[in-house]
């Protein structure tokens, strides 16, 4: 992929309520880690700003650093140096407990391999973040229903992940990511394990969430055509650096 391929998506809607206030901002963000004798520069001096309400696609080849950057945004990993802000709160200076609260209240995460807990039903899987956030049981039930309705899986509440199709599992994972009403949704290759039609379903859902709820979405993907259709902005990464930032649509 060349930088000329990265541009504002013609398919992206301009109607989304986006603000100039940054939902996520990084300043000279660096994440290095040792691998044997070598030092891997997974994220190398990345500075960017993602306004609230924006739908951003992080593109790049394997090992380009996009997933590491996503993990840093989620607070699952800590930077080697630099700063990363979520709603102007620096994650780099947060304690382990504060990062856990950040993941619980600010961030929703969707993985390529869904990561639903196999022994729990769909309802229990979606309820799990609410338990971790110590939400009262009565409210938990209402919020699970609301999230499951949004991804149109109400009829499958009592099913276990093994009884759901790939698309349904990813929708369930999406409901789980939304149930705590985060302001930022991070998606790591959300369509990577799905066929094209099901992948489009998920992307449509993401767009609905972005437009309907005004949620900031950062999606890691290597499918540029799909990113062009749905994202407002595409950022191309390579060797841990931003090679091209498509800017806002």
Other residues' Cβ atoms within 10 Å of the Cβ of residue 131 = 11
Choosing from 53, 60, 79, 129, the residue that interacts with other proteins (CB under 8 A) is 129
* Minimum CB distance to other proteins, residue 191 (Å): 18
* Minimum CB distance to other proteins, residue 55 (Å): 21
Of residues 151 through 180, those in contact with other proteins by CB under 8 A are 176, 180
**Pairing status of strand 81-86 against strand 22-35:** antiparallel
What DSSP state is assigned to residue 223? Answer: -
Binding part of the chain for other proteins, among 52-60, 125-133, 150-158, 222-230 by CB under 8 A, reads 125-133
Residue 89 binds to other proteins (criterion: CB under 8 A): no
Residue 96 binds to other proteins (criterion: CB under 8 A): yes
Cβ contact 232:9 at 8 Å: yes
The secondary structure element, H or E, covering residue 124 is helix 122-132
The whole-angstrom separation of Cα 39 and Cα 231 is: 33
Binding part of the chain for other proteins, among 8-16, 50-58, 102-110, 151-159 by CB under 8 A, reads 102-110
Q: Which candidate, 172, 122, 177, 130, places its Cα nearest to that of 152?
A: 172
* Minimum CB distance to other proteins, residue 122 (Å): 15
Q: Where are the alpha helices (DSSP H) in 161-213?
A: 166-178, 196-213
Residue number with CB closer to other proteins (121 or 191):
121
Residues forming a β-bridge with 110: 187
The residues that touch other proteins, with contacts defined as CB under 8 A, are 71, 74, 76-77, 96-97, 100-101, 103-105, 109, 111, 115, 117, 119-120, 128-129, 131-134, 176, 180
């Amino acid at each position: 992929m060349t930088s000329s391929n990265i541009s504002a998506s013609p398919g992206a809607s301009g109607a989304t309520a986006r603000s100039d206030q940054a939902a996520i901002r990084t300043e000279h963000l660096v994440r290095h880690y040792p691998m044997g004798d070598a030092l891997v520069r997974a994220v190398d001096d990345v500075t960017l700003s993602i306004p609230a309400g924006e739908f951003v696609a992080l593109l790049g080849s394997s090992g380009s650093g996009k997933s590491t950057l996503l993990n840093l945004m989620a607070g699952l990993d800590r930077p080697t140096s630099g700063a990363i802000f979520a709603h102007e709160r620096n994650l780099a200076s947060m304690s382990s407990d504060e990062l856990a609260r950040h993941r619980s209240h600010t961030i929703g995460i969707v993985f390529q391999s869904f990561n639903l807990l196999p022994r729990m039903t769909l309802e229990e899987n979606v309820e799990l973040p609410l338990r971790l956030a110590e939400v009262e049981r009565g409210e938990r039930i209402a919020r699970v229903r609301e999230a499951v309705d949004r991804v149109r899986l109400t009829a499958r509440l009592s099913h276990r992940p093994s009884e759901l199709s790939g698309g349904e599992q990813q929708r369930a994972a999406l409901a789980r990511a939304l149930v705590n009403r985060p302001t930022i949704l991070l998606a790591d290759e959300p369509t990577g394990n799905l066929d094209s039609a099901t992948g489009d379903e998920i992307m449509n859902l993401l767009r609905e969430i972005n437009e309907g709820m005004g949620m900031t979405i950062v999606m890691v993907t290597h499918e540029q055509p799909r990113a062009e259709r749905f994202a407002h902005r595409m950022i191309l990464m390579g060797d841990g650096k931003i090679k091209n930032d498509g800017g806002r649509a």
